[in-house]
Chain A
Amino acid sequence: MNIVVCVKEILDSADVKFDAQTGRLVRDGQPGTINALDEYAVEEALRLKEAHGGTVTVLSMGPAKAEAAWRHAIAMGADKAIHVTDEALAGGDTVASAYALSRALARKGDFDLVLCGSETLDGNTAYVGPAVAQNLGLPCVTFVQKIEQIGDGKAVAQRMMEAGYDRVETTLPAVMSVVKAINEPRISSLKGKMRAKKEAAEVVKAADLPGASAERLGATGSTSRVTRTFPPQGRPKGTLFEGEPDAIADQLFNALKG
């Protein structure tokens, strides 16, 4: 079972800034971290490897300095890392990014499963997983809460729905995006952390992506544009009720009735 896990380095959402001119995210000097949902994808890959053998390769795209996500995956136990980074890929929207990632996966080849978090906690689009699958002509199961069985070229997975879950049977190779109900990610061992410090990723440049047309990469390949960013609307100041529980309950009841 050869697995590729797509991970993204993101910034702490409580502390983000945007360039007023370009609308692009300002990353300078901000410490990055692995997208929390991608950790569950790494964990699931490691568990599948433990059960079925094979390799876990982590694939990350971002600026040259954005190494936190793939190093975290290595510390958890992934075998090797591929870091797709190039100025030509900068400023890409989800369409351009999914295109570049699908080309990087095609270049890697030789995998049975691609795992990723169901969404990133910065963009929150949940676009890249299924779009990568589409670009590669692969099936995709989104919002996976459990992989029931896998092997012999197929898998059965549970897709979380608003009401219960759907059981989906897919051929392999396939793409799956996971939700946090799927597992409990391990804490990296000291040995893993040491290895992650020393590990070097295979660096992939735009020119290395097979058959990628330059006009579909990065800012050039992006069809969407942010025209304005603004903070959420504040909520009006509320009313506090204090005192005996029954009195508080009565005050609230009357306030809601009014």
Chain B
Amino acid sequence: MELMQDPVRLTPEACKGVLVFAEQRGGKLVNVSLELLTIGRTLANQLGAPLCAALLGQGVADLAGELQHYQVDEVHVVDNAELANFQDETYATALTAVIQTLKPSIVLAGMTNVGRSFLPRVAAQLGVGLTSGCTALSLDGQTLVATRPAFGGTVYADVVCEKARPQMATVRRKVYEPAARQATSGGTVVNHTVALNAPKAKFLENVNELAGALDLTEADVIVSGGRGIGGPEFFDTIKELAKVLGGAVGASRATVDAGWIDYSHQVGQTGKSVKPKIYFACGISGAIQHLVGMRNSDTIIAINRDPEAPIFNVATYGLVGDVKQIVPALIKRFSQGR
């Protein structure tokens, strides 16, 4: 086993501007990358420095051109067969190389599974911190102030890394509005050649048995079921309401542990953190472990028999009654429209 050498750290004087990691999957930019271009532009303007994007992949010239429609000053591209799919080591080597050449003051990436997997490797190579899962970014002079929840969202902290460069952060989805596409393109594309060896951990294939199902973390509407729905059968009714509303299906930990529904649906501390426009909590009592995963939703609708249930403390609208009667009534009413 080789112990890596101590990194040569970049100095604040040598660094300027903002670099956004433009994550693409299957040749399409993920939404959070466009959201990062919004805050990236704000920070770059305040710093009086350029906003750059880093794009990794194979055959991504068109996508680089597309990024030029988002008021980006420079698009830095590494186009390589080893980047065709996400692989931690090659992604980390490529982005680290771009950072060492460009020397940005701030590097931002989305808190996606890809971002969370390889950004720590980049930060470790550069010997700098990485403030993970931020919900707000601002500047104090040249210093990035990154706000993030900890302890499952029971406390928030402002974190700074004033001496280290770059200042790196991953940002949660839907914190910022996506950047608006401009009709005209601008800025320049800079191609980087990075030598990439075959990684030790190789991508084989993506398997998606639920292809076409809505991604919980991107859904605008989520209908979640909890222990109060009584059994696995009622998830069919939950799914029907989700379908009527064009939403995705979520679940509490209790229902997942009971085997009523797959873990990929779980919302909360040991599941997914979501922020839809509308969140329906059906028969969910509202344990803190569930609340931390959904309390930032725009509108929360709670359906519960017990008017004292803690879920009503975070609910925009509380529907008191039998979830088995109310959910079908909602399906009927929302199917009618008007």
Contact = CB atoms under 8 A, between A and B. Distances in A.
Interface of A: 13-14, 16, 18, 23, 36-37, 93-95, 98, 102-103, 106, 109, 121-131, 133-143, 145, 156, 158-171, 173-174, 179-181, 210-211, 213, 216, 222-232, 235-236, 238-243, 245-246, 248-250, 252-253, 255-256
Interface of B: 1-4, 6, 85-86, 88-89, 92, 112-114, 116-118, 120-121, 123-125, 127-133, 145, 149-164, 199-211, 215, 217-218, 263-264, 269-270, 278, 288, 295, 299-302, 307, 312-322, 325-326, 328-330, 332-334
Nearest to A247: B329
Nearest to B334: A253
A126 B132 contact: yes
Nearest to B202: A169
B65 to A, nearest CB: 25
* Majority secondary structure, B binding face: mixed
Contacts of A224: 129, 131, 159-161, 164
A23 B157 contact: yes
B3 A121 contact: no
B295 A95 contact: no
Nearest to A11: B151
Given A166-B205, A238-B317, A245 B328 contact: yes
Given A135-B4, A227-B159, A164 B120 contact: no
Contact of B208 (A98, A126, A163, A173): A163
A16 B129 contact: no
Nearest to A165: B207
10 contacts: A136-B1, A140-B121, A165-B208, A167-B207, A223-B128, A225-B160, A227-B160, A235-B295, A235-B316, A246-B333
A219 to B, nearest CB: 13
Contacts of A135: 3-4, 124
B312 A238 contact: yes
A160 B210 CA distance: 13
Contact of A134 (B124, B159, B205): B124
A183 to B, nearest CB: 11
A153 to B, nearest CB: 11
Nearest to A163: B208
Contacts of B312: 238, 240
A232 B153 contact: yes
B201 A170 contact: yes
A161 B121 contact: no
